[in-house]
Structure 1
Amino acid sequence: MVRNIASYVTLTLTILTLLYVSFNSNETIDLSRYSTEGLDLNYTVSIDPDENDDLQASNNSDFVYSPYLGKSFIGFKEALAFKESGGNYFSVNTYGYLGKYQFGASTLKLIGIHNPDSFLKDPELQEKAFIANAARNKWILRRDIKNFVGKRINGVIVTESGILAAAHLAGPGSVKKYLRSYGLDNFADGYGTTIYHYMKRFSGYDTSFVEPDQKAKAI
């Protein structure tokens, strides 16, 4: 009987001690030790909170975005896709632009695609379309690439990848006007995104993989 009472007393004292320590501890965690300040964070695409990427997208994307593709051609096209649609093959925006790279129907016709509905359901064809469109734009802009790469316009060094990204956004004709006006003729799309913005954002990628081709087709 005495042993049982002693056990209960010991248990009670232990619980009271733990409660006292718990409620009276002044120890805090110094979160400043876990700061990322000074680290080289390898992001491919910057985050622009003020931009309006108004998309009507389904949730059926198989896209997995990696920020570690660097300045390779794959890094270029995936960064551009991430900006255009979040990498969603099945995305349709409020202006009717389609797929991972947000193609318009008129551009698709130029590279041999005449059925937008089938195009939207075919990720492999969308990848071929991106390559074909880039090859066609590179041929159209070949002289401008030669004449302007390395020059500074509106504070941004002109690069081939910047030119090709801007051509994807605005068409090669608008890019020619931008370059030859030294940035005065700065096209903006329906969401307010400009050629200047794409020239800056997609600068310095390796797009040598793309061969200029006047008659490039996806099909």
Structure 2
Amino acid sequence: MGKRKKLAKFSILPLATGTIFYSFSTKEASLNYEAYSTNELSLDYTVEDVRDEITAPFQISKTTPFTGKSYIGFKEALGFKESRGDYKTINEYGYLGKYQFGKGTLKLVGIYDTYGFLDSPSLQEAAFYANASRNKWILQRDIKRFVGKTINGVEVTESGILAAAHLAGPGSVKKYLRSWGAQAFSDAFGTSVRNYMRRFGGYDVSYVQTVKNARVDFDRI
């Protein structure tokens, strides 16, 4: 209390050339700390909890990735890797949306309107699930045979297989597994089947059903 503190003071001086010159100076100033005291103030109060009465006016369509080994954690991690979770993005090779679908893959799950696809987060989520179900049916024998094995230094898991199938297609994953890693696939950015097997291994994807020719159910979107 009673200490003196230096306060900065500056002024703006115009020069003949039109340039603004700043000059600084300091001077001694006294501060009365008593004016800021909280003594004798009542600070004991509560706020009524009304969280249960609040209804969100909208739903956030762009999800944020989070940790966890469930199906939700799996798809959010994969979506973040593909596009940082951006539903609207189109990359330089024409792959679309949060999960970077090609037009051919979208047709396989029953989607032909790419503009509508980009405008609908719920449709993109449904497409991801349908494609995962379809890939799981195609690769079911390989899942039974290779899960738990180690190929190219990476333990094979069901989620790793499904992630690699999303990247490269189920046919490329079959070749990779059945050749014990000798026939390797990499996309245009150099991302490999092995990379996806390692990065997305260990998630619980039992939620994904094994469905032949799975397609999006538009009535549920």
Please give the TM-score of this superposition, normalised by the length of structure 2.
0.71
Question: Equivalent of 1:133, from 131, 134, 138?
Answer: 131
* Letter aligned with residue 193 of structure 2: I
Deviation at 1:215, TM superposition (A): 2.0
* Aligned position for 2:109: 111
In structure 2, relative to structure 1, the CA distance for the partners of 1:145 and 1:62 (3 Å cut) is same
* Aligned position for 2:92: 94
| Counterpart-to-counterpart distance in 1, 2:4 and 2:180 | 79
* Letter aligned with residue 96 of structure 1: G
| Counterpart-to-counterpart distance in 1, 2:79 and 2:214 | 20
| 5+ residue gaps, structure 1 | 1-10, 20-60
Where do 4+ consecutive residues of structure 1 move more than 6 Å?
none
- Greater length-normalized contact order (CA 8 Å, ≥ 6 residues apart): 1
Deviation at 1:14, TM superposition (A): 3.9
* Aligned position for 1:211: 209
In structure 2, relative to structure 1, the CA distance for the partners of 1:66 and 1:108 (3 Å cut) is closer
User: Hey, which of these two has a bigger chunk of strand by percent?
Assistant: 2
Q: Is the 8 A contact 2:97 2:118 kept in 1?
A: yes
Q: Deviations over 1:93-140 (max 9, x none)?
A: 000000111100000111111111111111111110000000000000
Q: Is the 8 A contact 1:178 1:187 kept in 2?
A: yes
* Aligned position for 1:121: 119
| Counterpart-to-counterpart distance in 2, 1:195 and 1:64 | 26
Verify: 1:63 aligned to 2:59, yes or no: no
Q: How many residues align?
A: 164
Q: Is the 8 A contact 2:157 2:202 kept in 1?
A: yes
Please give the residue correspondences for 1:42-191 in structure 2 after superposition, counting only pairs within 5 Å. Answer: 62-68=61-67, 70-191=68-189
Q: Is the 8 A contact 2:87 2:98 kept in 1?
A: yes
Q: Is the 8 A contact 2:168 2:187 kept in 1?
A: yes
In structure 2, relative to structure 1, the CA distance for the partners of 1:117 and 1:150 (3 Å cut) is same
Secondary structure of 1:92's partner?
coil
| Counterpart-to-counterpart distance in 2, 1:218 and 1:191 | 29
* Letter aligned with residue 66 of structure 2: P
* Letter aligned with residue 143 of structure 2: I
* Aligned position for 1:196: 194
| Counterpart-to-counterpart distance in 2, 1:110 and 1:71 | 28
| Counterpart-to-counterpart distance in 2, 1:125 and 1:14 | 66
Q: Percent identity?
A: 62
Deviation at 1:202, TM superposition (A): 0.1
Deviation at 1:65, TM superposition (A): 1.7
| Counterpart-to-counterpart distance in 1, 2:184 and 2:84 | 25
In structure 2, relative to structure 1, the CA distance for the partners of 1:121 and 1:15 (3 Å cut) is closer
Deviation at 1:15, TM superposition (A): 4.7
| 5+ residue gaps, structure 2 | 7-25, 27-59
* Letter aligned with residue 209 of structure 1: Y
| Counterpart-to-counterpart distance in 1, 2:65 and 2:112 | 32
Deviation at 1:63, TM superposition (A): 2.2
The structure whose Rg is larger is 2
Quote the RMSD (CA, aligned, Å): 1.8
Q: Is the 8 A contact 1:144 1:176 kept in 2?
A: yes
Q: Is the 8 A contact 1:62 1:88 kept in 2?
A: no
* Letter aligned with residue 197 of structure 2: M
Q: Is the 8 A contact 1:85 1:99 kept in 2?
A: yes
